[in-house]
Amino acid sequence: MTGTSLDGIDTALCRIHTIDTTITLELCEYMCYEYPSEIKKEIQFLLNEPSPISIYSHIHHELSRVYAQCVRQLCSSAKFDIQTISAIGIHGQTLWHDPQQQRCTLQAGNGEVLAKILSIPVVSDFRSADVALGGTGAPLVPIFDKEFFSSDTNTHIALNIGGMANITVLPPRHSATPVIACDTGPGNVLIDALCMKYYNVPFDTEGKYAHNGLLIQELLQELQNHPFYKTPLPKSTGREVFGQQYADFLCDSFSNHHPNNLIRTVTELTAWHITDHIQRLSDNPHTVIVAGGGKHNIFLMNRLQELLPQTLFCSSESFGINADAKEAMCFAYLSYRTLSGLPSNIPSVTGASREAVLGSISLP
């Protein structure tokens, strides 16, 4: 799994068992590799400049050679014989995603190349099918949330706090209520941008800056007025809306305040839009299961719990899923579903016209 921020290549080595109809997913090894600088530069160029098609062709093949190296290292560090791996799922690097107007999506990283280099089956291109069926092609994590975080009796919510924050509302298993999911707003992206700007650190470790700051009520109210929060479902957002530009704007507008107060306030914003969406989209959820980098922000986690005192906030690790490895594990699980002929999109989430087996299969 590689995210749009190009910050690394997440790899998870998983063991998947099926006993009767119960699937168990066990993490054997998790590693995040740095992007080799040459291909990272090539991708950044392609994203920012009109480019000859040869550049995309090269990235599409070369990225699979990079992935092959990551898989080899992952197996080696886990002391795991690479030839016993059943399959590899690759999300690939998203280079374009416009399901609505142009009806297309593009992830670089060629399944055929990786499968043949390693002699291991590969599943790739998970999003195109849902887009072809009129869906948004995202999020794809809800089927994973449904499998591993649902309860037989209660409504659960899976919350991921990455650059953006998103939730999946999971009705009790076997309930007729459809699963729904959406982005709720910026997760760590604004907090991280302020930490980098004022302290030259990539994130607010354990939420200490926020803890030492005071809430600027006027700023919070202004941020809460962003139209995204009131937009009806389905909705998603990204760094093009809540990114560096937005962070710069709010710093400039409130430059007379202490950095910790600003960090405190954007942390409060994150806690507010998450709990606000949870309350609007579900009646009294029993449990919220948290994954993603934001889980390590203790101050943020406390604020979430305080804002929804009736609900239990717990880490995905209580459900056996490593909070950092979750997204990478998800694509291992999706490739398992594809090779089992099982659909992975949820039409009530993406708006697709039907369920579909996602991803193209490359034989070894």
- In Å, how far from its chain's centre is CA 204? 19
Q: Which of the ranges 20-28, 51-59, 241-249, 262-270 carries the binding residues for a second copy, by CB under 8 A?
A: 51-59
Task: Identify the CA nearest to 238 among candidates 228, 248, 224.
Answer: 228
Q: Closest separation between CB of residue 314 and a second copy, Å? A: 36
Residues 283-342 that bind a second copy (CB under 8 A): 338, 341
- 254 lies in the site for a second copy, by CB under 8 A: no
Question: Are the CB atoms for 282 and 149 separated by under 8 Å?
Answer: no
Give the span between the Cα atoms of 268 and 225, in whole angstroms: 14
- Residue 131 in the binding site for a second copy (CB under 8 A): yes
Q: Is residue 50 close enough to count as binding a second copy by CB under 8 A? A: yes
Total residue count of the chain as it appears in this document: 364
Q: Is 251 in the site for a second copy (CB under 8 A)?
A: no
Q: Is the dihedral of CA 251, 252, 257, 259 positive or negative?
A: positive
What value, to the nearest 5°, has the Cα angle with vertex 32 and ends 44 and 304? 95
Q: How far apart are CA 272 and CA 156, in angstroms?
A: 19
Question: Does the footprint of a second copy cover residue 363 (CB under 8 A)?
Answer: yes
Q: Which of 20, 34, 49, 240 binds a second copy (CB under 8 A)?
A: 49
Residue with tokens 């530069």: 41
CA 101 to chain centre: 23
Could you tell me which of 304, 320, 312, 315 has the C-alpha nearest to residue 285? 312
Q: Contact with a second copy (CB under 8 A): which of 32, 104, 298, 312?
A: 104
Stretch that binds a second copy, among 102-110, 143-151, 217-225, 226-234 (CB under 8 A): 102-110
Subset of 54-93 contacting a second copy (CB under 8 A): 54, 56-58, 60-62, 64
Q: Contact region for a second copy (CB under 8 A) — 116-124, 231-239, 255-263, 305-313?
A: 116-124
Q: Contact residues for a second copy (CB under 8 A)?
A: 46-47, 49-54, 56-58, 60-62, 64, 95-96, 98, 102-106, 110-113, 115-117, 124-125, 128-129, 131-133, 338, 341, 356-364
